[in-house]
Amino acid sequence: MTTPPKQALIVAHGQPSDPEPPELWLADFAAQVAALLPDWTIRSATIAKPETLENQALHLSDDAVVFPMFMADGWFVGRVLPRRLKGHNLRILPPLGFHAELPPLAAALIQDHLSAQDWAESETHLLLAGHGSAKGDKAALSTRNFAGSLAELLPEIDIVQGLIEESPFIFDAARDLGDRAMCLPFFALEGGHCKFDIPQALDAAGFTGLRLPPLGHAAALPALVAQALKESRKNT
């Protein structure tokens, strides 16, 4: 029996107003994943760039897997992605935000920053900045659940949540956190929310702590995605 080729498509939302930079970033990320999986073909596409997702799917065989670089199992993962991939027999994996190894990865990242700053966990505040949504509760729930998982791994750190589109808003959560604080955007890519909305809210709140890149830019993330793809083949 011939073993099906190992193929995967990594999908992210992207930036509708300026789709090319996120598309290029995701392509580079996919190349990093591919370097860890030499016997795989790894493709990438953002939803925001017209026709790219459909064109990439044309090159994939049946039973290829799709890895959603999303933090919540909301509208785009549950509705848009399956609709755009209609006609292709591709298996959509759980999104990045649901991966069991993501909280330990984030905890290690935070501990590295604590060590670099020589801050004690008990004296540090962590602001987890998420998206939220006025149209449903899945985005806020994903951020809240992730904060809970981090709290179990970092029990001495004060973890607060702030959202862009609903309460608790980032502006309110970021006030009065002091200098020994860091903001970690719970986002996969550095789009407009991370470049503009979060910094503007932090500035307005007088936030003076560390401003970290979005979690999806963590150096260890390609290895996490590569492992998730490998694990996906064990169940087929």
Give the pLDDT confidence score for residue 69 in this predicted structure: 95
For the chain, give the mean pLDDT: 92
Q: Residues with Cβ < 8 Å from 145, sequence gap 6 or more? A: none
Give the pLDDT confidence score for residue 4 in this predicted structure: 61
Phi/psi region, residue 87 (left: phi>0; alpha: psi -120 to 50; beta: rest), is left
Measured CA to CA in angstroms, residue 161 lies from 22, 75, 139, 150 at distances of 25, 21, 12, 12
Q: Is the pLDDT of residue 1 over 60?
A: no
Phi/psi region, residue 190 (left: phi>0; alpha: psi -120 to 50; beta: rest), is beta
- Over range 112-128, report the average pLDDT: 97
Span 14-23, pLDDT tens digits: 998 899 999 9
Give the pLDDT confidence score for residue 70 in this predicted structure: 93
Strand partners of residue 169: 163
Give the pLDDT confidence score for residue 219 in this predicted structure: 97
Give the pLDDT confidence score for residue 55 in this predicted structure: 92
pTM for this prediction = 0.92
| Token output for 77 | 């993962």
**C-alpha 9 chain-centroid distance:** 16
Span 183-226, pLDDT tens digits: 999 999 998 899 999 999 999 999 999 999 999 999 999 999 99
Span 11-50, pLDDT tens digits: 999 998 899 999 999 999 999 999 999 999 999 999 999 9
